[in-house]
Amino acid sequence: MRIKKLLVAVSLTTGSLLPSLTQAQNNSVIAVQVNKPIADVQPTMWGVFFEDINLGADGGIYAELVKNRSFEFYQPLMGWKVTQNKFNEGSVLVVNREEKNTNNPRFIRITKDAAADTLGISNEGFRGMGIKKGLRYDFSVLYRQQTPGLTMHAELVSTAGKVIGSTTLQPSAGNGDWSKAAVSFNATDTSLKASFNIWFEGTGKIDLDMISLFPEDTWKKRPGGMRADMIQLLADMKPGFIRFPGGCIVEGHELSTRYQWKKTIGPVEERQLSINRWNGEFAHRPTPDYFQTFGLGFFEYFQLAEDIGAAPLPILNCGMACQFNTAEVIPIDQLDPYVQDALDLIEFANGDATTQWGKVRTQMGHPAPFNLKMMGVGNENWGPQYVERLKIFSKAIKARYPDFKLVNSSGTDPNGDRFDYLNGELRKMNADIIDEHYYRRPEWFLANAARYDNYPRNASKIFAGEYAAQSDKTVSIDNRNNTETAIAEAAFMTGLERNAAVVNMASYAPLFAHIDGWQWTPDLIWVNNLQSYGTPNYYVQKLYSTNKGTNVVPALMEGKSVSGQDSLYVSAVTDKNTNDVIIKVVNASAKPINKAITINGVKKLNPAATVTVLKGNSVLDVNSFANPEAVSPATSAVQLKGNKLAASLPAYSFSVYRIGMK
């Protein structure tokens, strides 16, 4: 114990992942035994955690470019600017029709009496709008004519003030009801932070709502869809599941702002907007313009899961608001609507068109079921209040859907009183899947690579639902997605993989961050309005996910699993589909290491193998918009001699060997 403490102290002062004291070379061989599988790797093993944090949805994967398109932010004209050549009281009026439309009460009324006057509105986008030269943009608006006669002249303007695309929209005289008008135009130039102007020409009075601008190049070219480059990065990972919509956003700051899936489906203009709970969470990262318009709602999440081949994992509110914030709870005798939401969600995802909610899904254009098999009840909830509510949810859901799997929260931390209490209670309940979270320093990840070695095998399964190594400390703005954190996570994940008998799912968190609008760092993927890049941590996740295999096999050094000896961390799987053995090796030290690996229990191996290596020159190396692949994997050929592999493991590296078995 004393030695362990000393080692940690040394590592903190040297800045390297592991102290030089542990770097002495050991000549023992790593023996991989492919004919003695220990466990199946679940298809869900490596997944992604999506939350609308850091402009993840609005301003992120949801490709809408107009911010506050329906004037429902608490400041109705937030994101908009009115330009007119002379003061004209009420020329742009915010009108509230709450009595008639509670979901989308506000619209604007434009009045222009003199043709010679100038009147326009301008939207700033989400920290500007990313516009691409030559791309088509689709402008649409809901309108209601009061006095026909106004024409809309729309234009995109670059940061330099240059018009980089324009069009004219002439709404028809209409019949006095709301109608939709749309027109498309091409951008003539690229701009990272453009704005969108609408000038009103002629005279007249018109009501406008849902003023929208989408690029043509959305994911799968779906109108009103998602940002393709960001989704492609997810698809490239081939994730086993996608968890949504969070995260604390499930809980809400208070119950009134909790995530309610039923408000996020159906026609987009009828989805009631909500403040984003990250809007004012951190005084040091205020984001007053952060709202959820739910253009990206539960239907779209399910569709996304289907698109990228990931099992959907929705997390629902359990009748408790965020316990770091208000900690509001719903009285037990009023929990029914919450439980009903969970039951209805299963019907929405899986029911046929004869069921109430299956019919809604069918009407939204997806008659086939989404094949939902699991759901989380509560995010980071804790205490007896959680257990009490969870039991009610579990009883009701299992009564109707006995095979449906439930993910239960073990709170915010992987140890301590809260964790111990919940872990005990959940195991007494025979929980299907326990969700553990760890936002910890890299040393913690290295020291805990064997965390699951002794977890009971025939009991509750584990979902490592949120984790990320923090280069500084949790919620510090100084956290970086650097090589040190990525390598520490890769090392820890050998322990997850080795223990696939009990760990069935894992996901890094958070997933996305906008460089100009983030609240939380580190994050797996960083974006600006035009570009996105994967961090070193992203590549670790991707390497695991795309080298998942089907069966865990032993990888031992001196008869023991390799979990820190000589700064090495090792796990191995075989893949029934490709007939490969895949060996993952992390060298967490500052020195290159040569290591012999033998592959036993197979008649013949293909001597021509490959190794894919992720490494940094320094623990501080990061990726960036300027150099998005500074720390990224490179694949090369390696030659086996019989069943022997001479592994050259660079300093701070993660190597994935793939060897064909004959």
Residues with a known catalytic role: 380
> In what helix (H) or strand (E) does residue 339 lie, and over which residues does it extend?
helix 336-350
Minimum CB separation of residue 475 from ligand AHR in Å reads 9
Q: How far is CA 609 from CA 547, 599, 631, in A?
A: 14, 12, 23
Residue 374: half-sphere exposure toward Cβ, Cα within 13 Å: 24
Q: How far is the CB of 379 from ligand AHR (least distance, A)?
A: 5
User: How near is the Cβ of 149 to ligand AHR at its closest, in Å?
Assistant: 49
What b/e sequence results for 588-600 when a residue is b if at least 16 CB atoms lie within 10 Å of its CB, and e otherwise?
A: bbbeebebebebe
Strand 653-660 and strand 580-587: the pairing is antiparallel
Query: Closest separation between CB of residue 49 and ligand AHR, Å?
Result: 7
C-alpha distance from residue 7 to each of 23, 469, 565 (Å): 11, 19, 13
Is 106 strand, coil or helix? strand
Residue type at position 657: Y
Q: Which is nearer to ligand AHR, 509 or 611 (CB)?
A: 509
DSSP state of 29: P
The nearer residue to ligand AHR, 519 or 623, going by C-beta atoms, is 519
Query: Residue 32 or residue 509: which is nearer to ligand AHR going by CB?
Result: 509
Q: Which of 315, 365, 316 is nearest to 340 (CA)?
A: 316
- CB-nearer residue toward ligand AHR: 132 or 437: 437
Whole-number Å distance between alpha carbons of 213 and 116? 27
The contact set with ligand AHR (CB under 6 A) reads 51, 53, 246-248, 379-380, 412, 466, 509-510, 520
Which residue number, 472 or 558, has a Cβ lying nearer to ligand AHR?
472
Strands (E), 132-276: 136-147, 150-157, 163-169, 179-186, 191-202, 204-215, 241-244, 274-275
Q: Which is nearer to ligand AHR, 247 or 554 (CB)?
A: 247
* Minimum CB distance to ligand AHR, residue 199 (Å): 41
| Contact of 552 with 501, CB cutoff 8 Å | yes
Report helix, strand and coil shares of the chain as percent, to nearest 5. 20, 35, 45
In angstroms, give the least distance from the CB of 472 to ligand AHR: 15
| Closer residue to ligand AHR, CB minimum distance, 157 or 248 | 248
Tell me how crowded residue 55 is: count the other CB atoms within 10 A of its CB: 26
Shortest CB 344 distance to ligand AHR, Å: 24
Distance of closest approach, residue 247 Cβ to ligand AHR, in angstroms:
3
Minimum separation from the CB atom of position 315 to ligand AHR (A): 9
Within 13 Å of residue 575, how many CA atoms lie on the same side as its CB? 18
First-residue to last-residue Cα distance in the chain: 46
Nearer to ligand AHR, 198 or 390 (CB): 390
**How many whole angstroms separate alpha carbon 518 and alpha carbon 214?**
22
Rg (CA), the chain: 27
| Minimum separation from the CB atom of position 265 to ligand AHR (A) | 22
Choose between 77 and 475: whose C-beta lies nearer to ligand AHR: 475
DSSP per-residue string spanning 287-320: -TT-EE--SS-HHHHHHHHHHTT-EEEEEE--SB
Q: Is the peptide bond before 337 cis (omega within 30 degrees of 0)?
A: no
CB nearer to ligand AHR: give 230 or 659.
230
Give the whole-angstrom CA distance, residue 516 versus residue 658: 39
DSSP string, 521-549: ---SEEE-SS-EEE-HHHHHHHHHHTT--
Cβ closest to ligand AHR, residue 377 vs residue 611: 377
For residue 584, which of 539, 621, 616 has the smallest C-alpha distance?
A: 539
**CB closer to ligand AHR, 276 vs 379:** 379
Q: 660 near 580, Cβ under 8 Å?
A: yes
Q: How far is CA 628 from CA 302, 342, 546, 623, in A?
A: 30, 41, 20, 5
Residue type, 208: L
d(CA 572, CA 33): 9
Least distance (Å) from ligand AHR to the CB of residue 51? 5
- Residues 307, 220: Cα–Cα separation, whole Å: 9
Would you give the DSSP letter of residue 20? G
Shortest separation between residue 519's beta carbon and ligand AHR, angstroms: 9
